[in-house]
Amino acid sequence: MAFAFEELLVYRKSLDFAANVVKAAEEISSLRKHYRIIEQLEAAPTSIALNIAEGKGRYSKKEFKQFLYISRGSLYETLALIA
């Protein structure tokens, strides 16, 4: 039996997005090593999916909605890092 969050299209798309960003981050080469920025670039998109899953596990729609807002914040954080 699947968990409820696994059935959400937005969750599945967030996993694909995170995988693509992490793959791109692994290919970054620079004379200067920006380890912290690269770590953040890997963590931010992962947080999108994790917050969707955590929110779906909460007991109310209001809590779930709050976690979706947090996920959106992680998305914008990711976009800021790759811009």
Mean pLDDT value across residues 22-33: 82
Q: What is the mean pLDDT of the chain?
A: 93
pLDDT band of 17, cuts 50, 70, 90: very high
pLDDT of the residue at 27:
86
Answer positive or negative: Cα dihedral of 16, 22, 26, 27. Answer: positive
Domains recognised in the chain with CATH numbers: 8-82 (1.20.1440.60)
16-20, 26-30, 73-77: segment of lowest average pLDDT: 26-30
Report DSSP state, residue 57.
T
Residue 1 neighbours by CB distance under 10 Å: 4
pLDDT band of 29, cuts 50, 70, 90: confident
Q: Which pTM was predicted? A: 0.88
How far is the C-alpha of 64 from the C-alpha of 13, rounded, in Å?
Answer: 18
Task: Give the 3-state secondary structure percentages of the chain, helix then strand then coil, rounded to 5.
Answer: 80, 0, 20
Q: Which two tokens stand for residue 16?
A: 């694909």
The answer to whether 71 and 55 have CB atoms below 8 angstroms apart is yes
